[in-house]
Amino acid sequence: MNAEETITQGEYDIVETEQLQKIYGGDLGEALKYYRQAAGLTARELSRKMNITPAALSNYENNKRRPDLEFVRDVAHQLDLSIDTLLESM
């Protein structure tokens, strides 16, 4: 099962270690910022769509905080990406 299927189905207990390492150990922030800008969105616009503060998004994009799996799923949806595409870009 790929990351998209696993996270979308809410089966977080079977998320592969490699997938978690990409989220928690990789440079997810750089990928988030890249795809946000590629989508033509400002940080403020994306944070509004995600119902989070611009400061929270900034923390994720600057790798100061690590998002939970639901955030990864939701941001991929907002950016019209598969979760796998987002994680593979890291």
Give the tens place of pLDDT for each residue, 33-42.
999 999 999 9
* Domain 26-88 grouped into CATH 1.10.260.40: yes
Residue 13 DSSP class: G
pLDDT at 33: 92
Residues of the chain with pLDDT under 70: 1-26, 89-90
Compute the distance between CA of residue 65 and CA of residue 57 in angstroms, rounded to an integer.
Answer: 9
pLDDT at 23: 56
What are the residue ranges spanned by the domains of the chain?
26-88
Structure tokens that stand for 90 in this block = 């890291």
Compute the distance between CA of residue 60 and CA of residue 56 in angstroms, rounded to an integer.
Answer: 6
Compute the distance between CA of residue 16 and CA of residue 48 in angstroms, rounded to an integer.
Answer: 30
In the three-class reduction of DSSP (H, G, I as helix; E, B as strand; rest coil), residue 81 is classed as coil
